[in-house]
């Protein structure tokens, strides 16, 4: 009889307990969590170097381009965004003090142009009328740009692609027409990351922003870069001055570049074929040096402003401007890197030089051999 009692208990208890568990609120909670598979919420804003893809960082390190120098390949702790920004500002000030103590004063002042205590001569520099601050490279001189030895007396460069077939296919015009698709790259991103809001209203600006976002990273800071914390190519001490970097998006960067660069410095008055090249210089080196470099490649007066003489030089240019301008950019990159030890130490120059093929093929009228589309 006792044995039957234990058999009854062993059979009944699991059934009762199982039914209790089935109706328990804990069972529902567990099932919901199993369906979600994670208690984590994705971050809405990249806060650390580890947000860059692991493969991308390893490929960059292989080629000695390490913008995320001295950071782990594994995920960092998710620090609060404001603490991260404060940490970077503190580190930037440490870097400035080290540069002041260990660099010749002219080299220091070439980087920290706003230090009135140690570089009073920089206060005589003029300030542009827009809210885009002067570039840290504006006191550099554009390198001499050799023109092509043969200037063919045929169609100007800006209209060489304006054949009936290309006009019909891409809607190309001298001014305010269409642009060809971007060229595929073996190194840079081959996807289009613009919002598309300018692709019907200003094709030349749209193609430049496609190129800019292909070569720029997301958010981070290169050690020793005076541009400071940067998102999508928009530097907190440059185009994004005064902008809350936690809220920056590619769409906001497009609007800032269109208003404070493209329109403010009259890039939109140039022939379509030249606008992307002029924007490249302003985007990377600031308006004064960037426009002077562009004028040097055009063999136009180096006024630092896109004026009537610059526009006329572009409209009447003959030769391979893309090759001439790419060479001028290469020399400028080497000159800048030679004045900044941090750029040499962390492989920044090598990264800049890898952008040159992308630059050469980025003109509005360049016919791509292997195009990419949205």
DSSP string, 287-355: HHHHHHHHHHHHT----SS--HHHHHHHHT--S-HHHHHHHHHHHHHHHHHHT-HHHHHTTHHHHHHHT
What is the DSSP code (8-state) at residue 268?
Answer: G
- Asked if residue 187 and residue 102 are part of one domain, the reply reads no
CB 253 within 8 A of CB 195: no
Q: Which two tokens stand for residue 180?
A: 């060809």
The enclosing domain of 293 has a CATH number of 1.20.141.10
Q: Could you tell me which residues are beta bridge partners of residue 234?
A: 231
The predicted pLDDT at position 221 comes to 81
Residues 96 and 120 in one domain: yes
At 104, list the tokens. 């010749």
User: Buried (b) or exposed (e) across 308-337, using 16+ Cβ within 10 A?
Assistant: eebbebbbebbbebbebbbbbbbebbeebb
Q: Exposed/middle/buried for 94, CB within 10 Å: 0-12, 13-18, 19+?
A: exposed
Same structural domain, 114 and 169: no
Q: Which of 89-93, 119-123, 177-181, 341-345 has the highest mean pLDDT?
A: 177-181
Q: What is the pLDDT of residues 232-277, one digit of tens each?
A: 989 888 888 888 888 899 999 999 999 999 999 999 999 999 999 9
Domain count along the chain: 3
Query: Does residue 100 sit in the same domain as residue 229?
Result: no
How does strand 234-235 pair with strand 230-231? antiparallel
From the CB of residue 8, how many other CB atoms can be counted at a distance below 10 Å?
Answer: 10
Residue 298 and residue 164 share a domain: yes
Q: Categorize the per-residue pLDDT at 119 as very low, low, confident or very high, splitting at 50, 70 and 90.
A: confident
The predicted pLDDT at position 129 comes to 34
Q: Are residues 75 and 88 in the same domain?
A: no
- Summarised one tens digit per residue, pLDDT across range 151-204 is 433 345 566 788 899 999 999 999 999 999 999 998 888 999 999 999 999 999
Residues 59 and 95 in one domain: no
Task: Write out pLDDT tens, residues 10-40.
Answer: 555 555 555 544 445 444 544 455 444 444 5
Which residues neighbour 348 within 8 Å (Cβ) at sequence distance 6 or greater? Answer: 65, 67, 222, 225, 337, 342
CB count in 10 Å sphere of residue 139: 18
More confident residue, 240 or 140: 240
pLDDT for 126 equals: 34
CA distance 365 to 203: 11
**pLDDT tens track for 282-320:** 998 889 899 999 999 999 999 999 999 999 999 998 888
Same domain, 351 and 265: yes
My answer on whether 202 and 259 are in the same domain is: yes
Report yes or no: 159 and 174 within 8 Å, Cβ to Cβ: yes
Same domain for 72 and 88, yes or no, is no
Q: Is the predicted pLDDT of residue 125 greater than 50, yes or no?
A: no
Going by pLDDT thresholds of 50, 70 and 90, the confidence category of residue 116 is low
108 and 74 in a common domain: no
> Is 315 domain-assigned?
yes
pLDDT digits (tens, 9 = 90+) for 341-364: 777 776 788 888 999 999 999 999
The pLDDT > 70 percentage for the chain reads: 62
pTM score, whole prediction:
0.62
User: How confident is the model at residue 170, as a pLDDT?
Assistant: 93
Question: Which pLDDT score, from 0 to 100, does residue 171 have?
Answer: 93
Q: For residue 101, is it within any domain?
A: yes
pLDDT of residue 367: 92
CA dist 67 and 359 (Å) reads 20
Contact, 208 vs 280, CB < 8 A?
A: yes
Residue 312, domain member (yes or no): yes
Assess if residue 11 is contained within a domain: no
Distance separating alpha carbons of residues 21 and 42, to the nearest angstrom: 32
User: 307 near 300, Cβ under 8 Å?
Assistant: no
Q: Which domain holds residue 204?
A: 157-360
d(CA 147, CA 297): 7
Average of per-residue pLDDT values in the chain: 75
């Amino acid at each position: 009889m006792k044995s039957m009692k234990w058999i009854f208990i062993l059979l009944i208890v699991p059934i009762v307990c199982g039914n209790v568990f089935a109706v328990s609120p804990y069972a529902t909670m567990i099932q919901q969590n199993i369906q979600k598979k994670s208690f984590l919420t994705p971050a809405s804003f990249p806060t650390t170097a580890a947000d860059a893809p692991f493969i991308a960082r390893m490929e960059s390190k292989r080629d000695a381009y390490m913008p995320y120098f001295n950071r782990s390949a594994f995920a960092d702790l998710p620090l609060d965004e404001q603490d991260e920004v404060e940490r970077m500002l503190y580190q930037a000030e440490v870097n400035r003090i080290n540069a002041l103590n260990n660099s010749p004063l002219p080299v220091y002042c070439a980087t920290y142009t706003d230090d009135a205590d140690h570089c009073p001569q920089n206060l005589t520099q003029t300030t542009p009328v827009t809210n885009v601050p002067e570039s840290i490279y504006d006191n550099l001189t554009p390198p001499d740009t050799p023109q092509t030895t043969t200037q063919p007396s045929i169609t100007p460069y800006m209209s060489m692609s304006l054949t009936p077939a290309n006009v019909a296919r891409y809607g190309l015009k001298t001014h305010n027409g269409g642009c060809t698709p971007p060229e595929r790259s073996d190194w840079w991103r081959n996807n289009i990351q613009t919002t598309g809001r300018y692709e019907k209203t200003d094709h030349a600006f749209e193609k430049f922003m496609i190129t800019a976002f292909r070569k720029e990273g997301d958010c981070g800071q290169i050690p020793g870069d005076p541009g400071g914390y940067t998102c999508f190519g928009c530097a907190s001490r440059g185009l994004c001055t005064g902008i809350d970097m936690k809220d920056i998006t590619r769409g906001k960067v497009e609007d800032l570049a269109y208003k404070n660069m493209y329109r403010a410095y009259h890039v939109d008055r140039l022939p379509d074929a030249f606008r992307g090249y002029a924007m490249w210089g302003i985007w990377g080196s600031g308006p004064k040096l960037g426009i002077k470099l562009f004028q040097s490649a055009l063999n136009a007066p180096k006024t630092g402003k896109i004026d009537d003489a610059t526009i006329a030089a572009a409209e009447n240019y003959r030769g391979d401007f893309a090759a001439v301008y790419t060479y001028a950019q290469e020399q400028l990159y080497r000159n800048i890197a030679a004045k900044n030890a941090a750029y040499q130490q962390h492989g920044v120059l090598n990264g800049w030089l890898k952008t040159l093929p992308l630059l050469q093929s980025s003109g509005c009228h360049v016919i791509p051999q292997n195009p990419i589309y949205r």
